Chain A
């Protein structure tokens, strides 16, 4: 069972967990996250010592290695403010995975405490801040991929609430939306055949509804699907929800 219980948000200051993927590849997603939060009047602090949530080793079965990284993360994000992360997967690692691998550790309490104040971005905006409207405009047909690690959380619904609130956005549903894209972290490289077959199926469904842009709250899924589409020679425009929200404020698609 997911530990989705959250401390209510008080104050308007947050710590940003940018994610290792944004740190290495998707700087614009992290920047958009900052701009979106600041638009809402939230002060964003970026703890410089941050690295990764620890999920790669957790999923790879190396819990001892993962705990080392989680301990570093707990230390880095000390304090009481909410921690906001533009990824359902890293968020779930903090409030669920890390707690699981720390169940027999003495410092499990600190890990749990960080989990209770870690929010996926859309969940934070809609359920933490109570924001359900979004100004600006974004003229596009959008296919939204609900990433698997936000199953059982309010993130998927929150993302759709925001997308549907933007003038000009038309959200289209596609077939087998509940199915995984096939990324799965280390799964993508140790099971490359199954992983890419799953990705191809997802792309077929998405292409069938002809979106202008394919949006998700997790860049890991987008890295896999976008990379697969590009390799096929049929690239697809992928964006993070934060980028759509930011671009809407600035008048529309870039």
Chain B
């Protein structure tokens, strides 16, 4: 392959998919920026503070995880630890089997995508219905999310209407309200039939053991209102030290992710239903998932674990806008995914080592990140890791000879002059792949190597002007 996989994918992406991804990300990004800068005097300072809180939390998980376990247990929840995806899936299945349950309704959670829970449950004879509208559409299409907040950003409403018709959810109708109403009608029955409701967690407070969930559709509330057993699947990096830390994090999450002051629903879950409450789950399980996170914590890329999954870096990223999410071949796309996915891949790192290359290092991701993750630095670290591990990198010019030249001034000056030959050769005749890739799309300026040095010397000889 001459070029990088993600570049090939982008080149072959349908024009209308690119247009809808571009329009949607651009609009959200611009609204996000306006909202933050209209409402706060110094939003960048807020991002820094939020980053410090999360960094502190991930660097002190050994303190906070036992503390949160203790709080959750005191609140009446059962706590489970899953080191791997397999173990997380098996824990869910074990909880369901112990209740004789076969039907689950689930809210949107990226960690369930990461461990491929729905698949696992289906294989084991359980139904796991996605209740977030976007995820529901992904599920009926046997597709994959292409954005961490808007899983169906790559689909248009005509495609969705066709899927609904195919699934027997009514005659073709691409009116968004109709689509939503039909999904709601279908899902109401699923909520009522289910025994188990599964959610993720946006944050878990170590101080109170409260689990915080944000949604816009209210589906997570239905998952918990109708079922008798709540399972929360939580990545270990979701801990925040104190309840009051949620103030700043929630303020930034809604604005950064969907350009809302707050999402429509913000739930604080303190435990299973109490004796005084008429409804709600009688049983609550919290499964903390590691699945490679402690290994990430041991690397110099640990800052990526601050991520609160808002998607702002995807929205602003010019590469994501051109390539869309599936180009990244992993659950987490975009700038955050280009760091997190290869790291979580562990020994399969080489297969995703091209992801960190898919960036012009423009730094826009860092500029919008609500927890101020230095994403470009982390991309660079992973590029260096790939180089050190000898992973091939199509299209990247080799740097050894260049470095030799650039550390020997005499050779450098000679090649500045020698380069002038390029002006007399048709570019096509020069067998340097990088030059060909450049000249295929762009004119090359005339080579004027050494001219400035000549000018400088000539000037030094002249008497100073009066």
Contact = CB atoms under 8 A, between A and B. Distances in A.
Interface of A: 1, 18, 20, 22-27, 30-31, 34, 46, 48-52, 54, 56-63, 65-66, 68-69, 71-72, 76, 97, 100-101, 148-149, 151-152, 176, 178-180, 182-199, 201, 223-224, 226-228, 230-231
B360 A68 contact: no
Given A62-B387, A180-B362, A191 B7 contact: yes
Given A189-B438, A227-B443, A27 B455 contact: yes
Most B-side CB within 10 Å, residue of A27, A72, A198: A27
Given A100-B380, A182-B360, A30 B452 contact: yes
Interface in B356-384: 357-364, 366-367, 372, 374, 377, 380, 383-384
Given A69-B403, A192-B438, 10 more contacts: A24-B448, A27-B452, A51-B409, A52-B406, A56-B402, A151-B366, A178-B367, A184-B360, A190-B396, A224-B442
Nearest to B319: A194
24 contacts: A24-B419, A25-B448, A49-B409, A51-B406, A51-B409, A56-B397, A56-B402, A57-B399, A57-B402, A59-B380, A61-B396, A66-B399, A101-B384, A148-B361, A180-B364, A185-B360, A188-B437, A190-B3, A190-B7, A191-B6, A192-B395, A193-B11, A195-B360, A201-B318
A193 B327 CA distance: 13
B345 interface: no
B399 A62 contact: yes
A185 B456 CA distance: 27
A52 B402 CA distance: 10
Contacts of A76: 409
A152 B7 CA distance: 28
B380 A65 contact: no
Interface in B403-456: 403-407, 409, 412, 416, 419, 433-434, 437-438, 440-453, 455-456
B208 interface: no
Contacts of B361: 59, 148-149, 184-185, 187
A149 B362 CA distance: 7
A182 B318 contact: yes
B396 A23 contact: no
A98 B364 CA distance: 20
Contacts of B363: 148-149, 151-152
A226 B7 contact: no
A194 B11 CA distance: 7
Interface in B314-363: 318-319, 322-323, 357-363
Contact of A61 (B6, B393, B400): B393
Interface residues of B, number: 69
| Chief secondary structure at chain A's binding surface | helix
Contact of A188 (B402, B407, B416, B438): B438
A56 B4 CA distance: 17
A148 B442 contact: no
Interface string B259-280: 0000000000000000000000
A25 B3 contact: no
B26 interface: yes
B176 interface: no
B10 to A, nearest CB: 5
Contact of B395 (A20, A178, A190): A190
A56 B443 CA distance: 20
A57 B403 contact: yes
Contact of B434 (A18, A179, A189, A193): A189
B10 A193 contact: yes
B386 interface: yes
User: Top 4 closest A-B pairs, CB basis?
Assistant: A184-B360, A61-B383, A190-B395, A227-B442
Contacts of A66: 399, 403
Contacts of A197: 10, 322
Given A48-B453, A149-B363, A176 B393 contact: no
A19 B319 CA distance: 27
A252 to B, nearest CB: 21
A63 B396 CA distance: 14
A192 B7 contact: yes
Contacts of B372: 1
B394 interface: yes
A68 B407 contact: yes
Contacts of A48: 409, 453
Contacts of A191: 3-4, 6-7, 10, 319, 357-358, 395
Q: Which of B416, B419, B442, B456 has the most CB of A within 10 A?
A: B442
Most buried by B among A189, A195, A196: A189
Contacts of A198: 318-319, 322, 360
A50 B395 CA distance: 28
A178 B364 contact: yes
A23 B222 CA distance: 65
Contacts of A52: 406
A198 B359 CA distance: 12
Contact of A24 (B377, B441, B449): B449
Contacts of A190: 3-4, 7, 357, 393-396, 437
Contacts of A30: 452
A23 B416 contact: yes
A71 B367 contact: no
B440 to A, nearest CB: 7
Contacts of B367: 151-152, 178
A60 B403 CA distance: 12
Interface string B294-331: 00000000000000000000000011001100000000
